[in-house]
């Protein structure tokens, strides 16, 4: 990317910041609102599990739920993320329930598949995805959004799980000699590890 495009992106971001991301909200996101405890995670374990399943559903290969992604997200969130990220994540989860309550009159867990899909769609729209650079800058300035963290961790948890690695991806623990150029066969999935 040249300098001009870079500047354009930065300007666009500033515009975006004024438009949709007030300083108040930023402050709210980067300051822990409350101390997140294990109980907070426990209460939301099934919600997280089901959200992950909407992001990576069961198809001809296992989905996030069967792969145990919900537990992975909670382990990583509670041990590897700081309190402000954790509380932003918990707030995000609660926002999901608020949303489904106002739209469909019930909690996410009580929604049918199509309402769950609509709810996740709503939150995925709040993610700026037009440019990877914009997203990167936004993540840096404002912290990762709830949905971004959720999706990133869902993919990570799924692709490093035993089911995801061996059934959806192709896991090759001891490859032998490196083959630099092979034809991609039809339906070939990615290598599970780099």
Partner 1 sequence: MYIIKRNEQHTYDAIVVGSGISGGWAAMELCKKGLKTLLLERGRDVTHIEDYPTAHMNPWDFKFGLNNTLEDRLANPVQSNVYSPADKHYYVNDYEHPYIQEQPFNWFRGYQVGGRSLTWGRQCYRLSDLDFEANSKDGNGVDWPIRYKDVEKWYDYVESFVGVSGRKENLKHLPDGQFLNPMELNCIEKHLGESVNRYDTSRILTIARIANLTRGWHSRGPCLSRNLCSRGCPYGGYFSSNSSTIPAAAATGNLTIKPYSIVTELLLDENSRKAKGVRVIDTISNEVFEFRSKIIFVNASTIATAGILLNSKSTRFPNGFGNDSGEVGHNLMDHHSSAGAQGQHEYFSNLYYKGRRPCGFLIPRFRNLSADENHGFIRGYNIQGRGERLEWIDKSRSVHGFGKDFKEQVITPGPWSVWMGGWGECLPYHENKVILDPLLKDKWGQPQLRIDFSFKKNEKTMMNDIRETSGEMLERAGFKDIRTFIYDKPGGSTIHEMGTARMGADPKTSVLNKYNQIHSVKNVFITDGSCMTSSACQSPSLTYMALTARACEYAFLELKRGNL
Residues near partner 1 (CB under 8 A) are 1, 54-57, 59, 61, 72, 75-76, 79-82, 117, 120-121, 124, 129, 132-133, 135, 148, 151-152, 154-162, 165, 168-169, 171-184, 188-194
Give the nearest distance from C-beta 23 to partner 1 in angstroms.
25
CA 24 to chain centre: 23
The closest of 103, 97, 134, 119 to 5, measured between CA atoms, is 134
The residue among 22 and 152 lying less far from partner 1, judged by its C-beta, is 152
Give the nearest distance from C-beta 190 to partner 1 in angstroms.
5
The residue among 24 and 173 lying less far from partner 1, judged by its C-beta, is 173
Contact 147, 170 (CB under 8 A): no
The residue among 24 and 176 lying less far from partner 1, judged by its C-beta, is 176
Give the nearest distance from C-beta 159 to partner 1 in angstroms.
4
Please count the other Cβ atoms lying within 10 Å of the Cβ belonging to residue 142. Answer: 17
The closest of 128, 127, 134 to 7, measured between CA atoms, is 134
Give the nearest distance from C-beta 137 to partner 1 in angstroms.
12
The closest of 142, 153, 148 to 127, measured between CA atoms, is 148
The residue among 18 and 113 lying less far from partner 1, judged by its C-beta, is 113
Can you tell me the distance from the alpha carbon of 136 to that of 181, in angstroms, rounded to the nearest whole number?
Answer: 32
The residue among 112 and 179 lying less far from partner 1, judged by its C-beta, is 179
- Whether the CA torsion 79, 82, 85, 89 is positive or negative: it is positive
Give the nearest distance from C-beta 44 to partner 1 in angstroms.
19
**SS3 of 128, please?**
coil
């Amino acid at each position: 990317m040249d300098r001009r495009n870079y500047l354009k992106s930065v300007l666009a971001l500033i515009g975006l910041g004024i438009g949709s991301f007030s300083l108040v909200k930023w402050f709210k996101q980067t300051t822990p609102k409350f101390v997140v405890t294990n109980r907070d995670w426990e209460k939301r374990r099934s919600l997280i599990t089901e959200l992950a399943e909407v992001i990576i559903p069961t198809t001809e290969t296992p989905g996030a739920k069967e792969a145990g992604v919900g537990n992975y997200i909670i382990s990583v969130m509670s041990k590897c993320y700081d309190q402000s990220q954790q509380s932003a994540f918990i707030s995000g989860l609660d926002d999901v329930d608020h949303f489904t309550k106002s739209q469909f009159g019930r909690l996410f867990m009580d929604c049918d598949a199509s309402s769950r899909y609509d709810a996740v769609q709503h939150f995925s729209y709040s993610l700026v995805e037009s440019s990877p650079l914009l997203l990167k800058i936004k993540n840096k300035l404002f912290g990762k959004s709830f949905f971004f963290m959720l999706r990133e961790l869902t993919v990570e948890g799924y692709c490093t799980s035993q089911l995801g690695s061996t059934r959806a991806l192709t896991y090759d623990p001891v490859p032998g000699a490196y083959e630099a150029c092979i034809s991609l066969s039809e339906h070939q999935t990615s290598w599970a590890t780099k």
